[in-house]
Amino acid sequence: MKRLIIITAAWCMLQACSDKPASTSNSTQEGTTTQLSKATLQDKIRGGWAGQTIGVSYGGPMEFRFQGSMIQDYQPIPWPEHYIKHWFDNSPGLFDDIYMDLTFVDVLEKYGMDAPIDSFAKAYALAPYPLWHANQSGRYNILQGMSAPQSGHWLNNPHADCIDFQIESDFAGLMNPGMPQAAAVVCDKVGHIMNYGDGWYGGVYVATMYSLAFIKTDIKEVVKEALKSIPAESNFYKCMNDVIAWYEKNPGDWKSTWFEIQKKWTNDTGCPDGVFSAFNIDATVNAAYVITGLLYGNGDFDKTMDITTRCGQDADCNPSTAAGILGTLMGYTKIPERWKKDLEEVESITFPFTKLSLNDVYATSMRHALMQITRYGGTVTDSLITLHTAPVQPVKREQSFPGLQPTVRKGIGKTLTDTLSAEFEGDGVVLTGALTKEWDTFTPWVYHIQVTLDGKADTVNMPYNFRTRRNEIYWNYQLPAGKHRLQLRLLNPNPISTIRVNDLIQYKRTTAP
């Protein structure tokens, strides 16, 4: 925490410099000063939140229905009347990328802009909503007594490279208009609760695009400039850079770029659900789909959202991100009326699992943005805002699963009733599995499994409660090369459920970490 405060202070001084303008500007050798009216700032903040909500609702029926394939043009994507209200009423879990944001916004509102990392970690870990992948693994780690940022580190979280922080970093950009370095400080604190490496970079990149969308008028410039926030050595950077190059080579055919992404960037190393599978929730490939939509959409709200959705995989979160960024750039007033008509039905309704409505967060984000603007060297009058921004700088270099590659996925498919053993060879292992009945959110029972690897025993906890569940039974990415024996023993059977052991994934280290 002390290190973050020091960085914040340093960047606070940096922000006396600048980037590029949205409306009026004054460029100097030290940077760029940008002026916005308060009304414009509020309109852009509102456009960002509105775009997210419209985008996730648009892509909702397509979420993970197209894995490794695009949605063809002849297939319509429905938008019946009252559609956003329909999702609010019937499938509130669809909005995980929004209610997670709102959790963090609420923490900032309660504890201020220097809210400690534990306040964010505890708020989302104890929240009543369901979570998946890196978010759920991070939550489990926090509830088991692990502190952030260790809770998101790849050694403790097999989903560290998944999309999670990428879909909930919007708030960091929206509260830091034209101040990408300030957004990066927020991302460093919050994003490492549940992600690391490329998974964290996805959130940094998205937050930077939001931040730049306040001061730029060309969405393609936003996509390119924001990439400077990511270390060029990372796979995440290389993938986004490829997408930009493929777009520039063939700007009239988004499908040609989609095929290039499939050929080069769809191997999933980390997420146990995506290894040797068409399913892919990796942040990198889904971010590639986001910027495919932004680039080929060329500032058209409908086209951007549609292309991003048709890329497939996480086809609700990706258009939510793309529409949120573009909604920020264009502002709420310029979002086509056909989308806002349905949105207006829910703007005053408390968002699922939260105490905030969209109208509430429009005002709260505006308040936070004004606080950040003055904190980082800008000025605020009754009607005019002056921003001082520093050039985009890359965040620190980090990598999940360095040198590790999955080599075998071995089906086990057995129920753990007493003991079970398996042998494998490699430098790492993940054992997938789950409770067969775990939707009960009231029974406090926790199964205890003794895991013995090469004679060394440990105990893992598997809560019956779906909200607090453990995503995988066991993992270890730091094994000596060679043959290993893994044995499980169920210490406290209970007939309320059974534990199904699904697959064993073994890893081999191909390069030094």
Q: What is the DSSP string of 62-111?
A: GTTTSSSSPPPTTS-----TTHHHHHHHH-GGGGHHHHHHHHHHHHHHHH
484 and 342, same structural domain? no
- In this structure, what DSSP letter does residue 147 have? P
Give the model confidence (pLDDT) of 90-132 as tens digits.
998 899 989 999 999 999 999 999 999 999 999 999 999 989 9
CATH number of the CATH domain containing 277: 1.10.4080.10
Query: Is residue 288 located within the same domain as residue 430?
Result: no
> Mean pLDDT across the chain, nearest whole number?
93
Token pair of 340 as six digits:
């806002």
> How many folded domains does the chain comprise?
2
Instruction: Calculate the alpha carbon distances from 234 to 134, 221, 284, 373, 400 in Å.
Output: 20, 21, 10, 31, 10
**Which pLDDT belongs to residue 20?**
34
Q: Do 354 and 411 have their domain in common? A: no
**Do 375 and 413 have their domain in common?**
no
**Domain assignment of residue 351, given as a range:** 2-389
Instruction: For residue 213, give both structure tokens.
Output: 């969308």
- Alpha helical stretches, state H, 112-192: 117-125, 133-143, 170-174, 180-191
- Beta strands 384-389; 404-416: pairing state: unpaired
Do 332 and 446 have their domain in common?
A: no
List CB contacts of 475: < 8 A, sequence separation 6 or more: 158, 272, 428, 429, 430, 431
Q: Kindly state whether residue 281 falls inside one of the protein's structural domains.
A: yes
On whether residue 394 sits in a domain, the answer given is no
Q: Which of 331, 354, 389 is the last residue of a domain?
A: 389
Tell me if 485 is assigned to some domain.
yes
pLDDT tens string 169-188? 999 999 999 999 999 999 99
d(CA 270, CA 71) in angstroms, rounded, equals 26
Domain C-terminal end among 329, 355, 389: 389
**Is 6 a domain residue?**
yes
Is 319 among the domain residues?
A: yes
380 and 478 within one domain:
no
Same domain, 236 and 308: yes
Q: Domain of 450: which CATH number?
A: 2.60.120.260
Residues 143 and 237 in one domain: yes
How far is Cα 283 from Cα 264, in angstroms, rounded to an integer? 15
Select from 357, 389, 421 the last residue of a domain. 389
Question: In angstroms, how far is the first alpha carbon of the chain from the final one?
Answer: 27
Nearest to 70 by CA among 336, 270, 288, 324: 288
Pair 385, 414 in one domain:
no
pLDDT value at residue 29: 34
Residue 399 in domain: no
Tens place of pLDDT per residue across the chain (513 aa): 333 322 233 333 333 333 333 344 444 334 588 999 999 999 999 999 999 999 999 999 999 999 999 999 999 999 999 999 999 999 988 999 899 999 999 999 999 999 999 999 999 999 999 899 999 999 999 999 999 999 999 999 999 999 999 999 999 999 999 999 999 999 999 999 999 999 999 999 999 999 999 999 999 999 999 999 999 999 999 999 999 999 999 999 999 999 999 999 999 999 999 999 999 999 999 999 999 999 999 999 999 999 999 999 999 999 999 999 999 999 999 999 999 999 999 999 999 899 999 999 999 999 999 999 999 999 999 999 999 888 999 999 999 999 999 999 999 999 999 999 999 999 999 999 999 876 666 788 999 999 999 999 999 999 999 999 999 999 999 999 999 999 999 999 999 999 999 999 999 999 876
Do 472 and 400 meet the contact criterion of CB atoms below 8 Å apart?
A: no
Backbone angles phi, psi at 422, to 5 degrees: -150, 150
78 and 201 co-located in one domain: yes
454-491 pLDDT, tens digit each? 999 999 999 999 999 999 999 999 999 999 999 999 99
pLDDT digit string, tens, across residues 318-347: 999 999 999 999 999 999 999 999 999 999
317 and 356, same domain (yes or no): yes
Could you tell me if residue 398 is inside a domain?
Answer: no
> What is the rounded CA–CA span in Å between residue 304 and residue 297?
4
- Do 111 and 260 fall within a single domain? yes
